[in-house]
Structure 1
Amino acid sequence: MSDIVLETRGISKRFGGVHALERVDFSLRAGEVVALAGDNGAGKSTFTKIISGVFQPSEGEIRYCGQPVSFDGPQAARAAGIETIYQDLALADNLDIGGNVFLGREIKSKFLFLPRIDRKRMREEAAKAIQVLDVHLDRLDRPVRALSGGQRQAVAIGRAIHWDARVLIMDEPTAALGVPEQRKVMDLIRSLKTKGLGVIFISHNLADMFAVSDRIVVLRRGVVAGERQVGHVDPEEIVRLMVGQ
């Protein structure tokens, strides 16, 4: 049985006369980190938005866990197990970790025969998901605005783990973080690999790509310019693929 969890075949996307993507083939295995490299406008965001259900492809096929799929929106992709963590993390700063992990899917209990949100249980369940990542928080009731950048990333990743994500798309996860927080995020990504998640890692930082990725796929002007195994390529070759030299 193949361990490929996500695959695209001949994916193209056109916006009017603009060809944003042209026949992109891509694969991701369980427990693998694949970096997407490319300059601005190379097609990285368009490609991941197709995978996550934001856009529909103009042509081509998406296969997930061996079956052809078509997501009619981001919620359908999330329900299937494809989660996206954007650079801004999409966290509600005024809520605690439980409120963020269960946002829109709150746990409810009965009090005097009336339903109420069970915040204590939500915090406990959220803490379990984050502890899986070897991240420990002193106060579970604090709003996430009080957390460090690395802890906030852990909350966003913990949310994906709790809801049984099998594919995680991470868009510039180390942007705007200090060096210690960047290292923590790299450790989180390595932890995801050991847990069998497939990770698509988007970054402009080649050092980060080489630190955590198994493969690097380079997009240039909407097409795959090349694919290289980390350990068998140097950064200069990736740059040449990105700029077309």
Structure 2
Amino acid sequence: MTNNSSSAPPPSTHRKVALAGHNIAKRFGHVNALIDANVTVHAGEVVALFGDNGAGKSTFLKTLLGVHQPDEGKIIVDDQEVEMNSIRDAQNLGIDCVHQELALAPDISVVDNMFLGHEEMRHGGLGLLGALSRKDMTEKADAALRELSINLPSLKIAVRDLSGGQRQAVAVARAVMWSRSALLLDEPTAALGARQSEIVGDMMRTVASRGLGVLCVSHDLPRALKFADRVVILWRGETALDAPAAGLTVPDVVSTMVGYKKEEAA
């Protein structure tokens, strides 16, 4: 017979918060862009952030990245409340973002894009910095791409010569290289075809499996529902829904996005 009177503590159910914004409000003059926005992304989780135009998605994303400072509420990174005053602060906390415009330099190689702003230098005589450590950079870039199952014709090829899906993959891999807590994606499949969008979705799952929190802003509702663990919907600056993705349909999401359920409940 099993002894149930053991004094051992129960197993912990705490899930590490990779990134969260709690009760966020942000005003621009007389405009309330955010009123009471709440999003929590746990480590190892993919959260899809939905909302109609003007719901506050972009403002919320920029607040989580330190571009805007909230008028009310708090930001949590790795279970700790933090203050961010710039994108650099977010990056120092291990948060990076893949923007819709990608922010890649088209005329330089894949490796140089992966290390843009993070270049590694070889040490010369007397400990002085010399030329770029291209061998180390290439090996690290190759490892980062392989970890996400990204296959490119060459790491020396200029980014302009890659397909749209390949460019998106490079942007994601670069962000993952420098992220320690959370990865944010802003409309990552907006300009991609069906197959390329599937690849990006698979990459989001792979990134989450590494223990990062992933927050994806998207208008591609069917695909985002497929890859997300949880869905958060903003409605006029407030969180209108926070629910498991598995229990939602596209009509459910659309009705909440346009405010039908909220208005009926009022």
1:103 paired to 2:95:
no
- 1:111 shift after superposition: 5.5
1:35 paired to 2:48:
yes
* Structure 2 counterparts to residues 12-161 of structure 1, below 5 A: 12-110=25-123, 115-161=130-176
Q: Distance in 2 between matches of 1:154 and 1:38?
A: 25
Residue 242 to residue 111, structure 1, CA distance change in 2 (3 Å): same
The 8 Å contact of residues 97 and 123 in structure 1, kept in 2 or not, is answered as no
1:182 paired to 2:203:
no
**Per-residue CA distance 1:159-192 (angstroms, 9 max, x = gap):** 1222243211100000111222111111111211
- Code of the residue aligned with 1:237 in structure 2: it is D
Comparing 192-201 with 157-166, greater Cα deviation is found at 157-166
Indicate the residue corresponding to 1:236 in structure 2.
251
The 8 Å contact of residues 226 and 241 in structure 1, kept in 2 or not, is answered as yes
**Per-residue CA distance 1:89-132 (angstroms, 9 max, x = gap):** 11111111221111112111145766212233222211111111
- Code of the residue aligned with 2:151 in structure 1: it is H
Q: Distance in 2 between matches of 1:114 and 1:157?
A: 29
Indicate the residue corresponding to 1:165 in structure 2.
180
**Per-residue CA distance 1:143-165 (angstroms, 9 max, x = gap):** 11111222222211221222243
Q: Distance in 1 between matches of 2:80 and 2:40?
A: 13
Q: Secondary structure at the match of 1:42?
A: coil
Residue 214 to residue 220, structure 1, CA distance change in 2 (3 Å): same
Indicate the residue corresponding to 2:214 in structure 1.
199
**Per-residue CA distance 1:14-62 (angstroms, 9 max, x = gap):** 0011000012222111111111111111100000100001100011111
Amino-acid identity (%): 42
The 8 Å contact of residues 232 and 243 in structure 2, kept in 1 or not, is answered as yes
- Code of the residue aligned with 1:225 in structure 2: it is A
Task: State the 4+ residue runs in structure 1 displaced beyond 3 angstroms.
Answer: 110-114
User: Which has the higher Rg, Structure 1 or Structure 2?
Assistant: 2
Gaps of 5+ in 2: 1-13, 261-266
The 8 Å contact of residues 25 and 71 in structure 2, kept in 1 or not, is answered as yes
TM, length-normalised to structure 2:
0.87
